[in-house]
């Protein structure tokens, strides 16, 4: 049985920044099919800094503790500083992890980096002619607003206020929070 530090146990029992960001600027999803750990990171960027970081993790106590620690380490950092966070730094901040749990610290850093990469790709695409909308189900971007997502096949309806897609069954627009028309 692995021996965890008090800091690992604290972040597992009292994780920080749990949840999602409905209008996230970037989303990173990673997983390890061998151990079953799955991590989703959500970021909001303001003035090239991580203004908000949230996560949802399905996995062992070490995976949850790592996600919590990564979210704390990344909050307020510039994108470049956050991209420089390594698995070794995460493990060190937690006071160490057992060797068989080090892959968790790698997943945490990877999920954060994937969210930043997603944000940067969206920014680059927007600068190359703009994008009209994003599917709320699979996060695919489109230049034109389709009735059906060409990537996942979901039927889309659109906010009268901002024109962004609204998932069926959801009353408020995830982009501008206006109440959806039936």
Q: Enumerate the active-site residues.
A: 35, 104
Q: Are 126 and 46 in contact (CB under 8 A)?
A: no
Q: Alpha carbon of 114 to those of 15, 29, 149: distances in Å?
A: 21, 7, 23
Q: What is the DSSP letter of 180?
A: P
Maximum separation of any 2 CA atoms in the chain, in Å = 55
Contacts of 104 (CB under 8 A, 6+ apart): 37, 59, 60, 62, 63, 65, 66, 97
């Amino acid at each position: 049985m692995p021996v965890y530090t008090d800091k690992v146990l604290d972040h597992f029992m009292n994780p920080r920044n749990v949840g999602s960001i409905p209008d996230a600027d970037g989303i990173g999803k990673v997983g390890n099919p061998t151990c079953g750990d799955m991590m989703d990171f959500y970021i909001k960027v303001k003035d090239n800094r991580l203004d908000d970081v949230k996560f949802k993790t399905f996995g062992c106590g070490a995976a949850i503790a790592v996600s919590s620690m990564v979210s704390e380490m990344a909050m307020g950092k510039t994108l470049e500083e956050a991209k420089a966070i390594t698995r070794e730094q995460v493990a060190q901040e937690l006071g160490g992890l057992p060797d068989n749990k080090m892959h968790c610290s790698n997943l945490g850093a990877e999920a954060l980096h994937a969210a930043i990469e997603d944000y940067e790709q969206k920014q680059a695409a927007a600068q190359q002619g703009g994008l009209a909308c994003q599917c709320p189900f699979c996060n695919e971007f489109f230049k034109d607003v389709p009735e059906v997502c060409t990537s996942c096949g979901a039927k889309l309806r659109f906010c009268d206020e901002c024109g962004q897609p609204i998932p069926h069954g959801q009353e408020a627009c995830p982009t501008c929070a206006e109440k959806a028309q039936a």
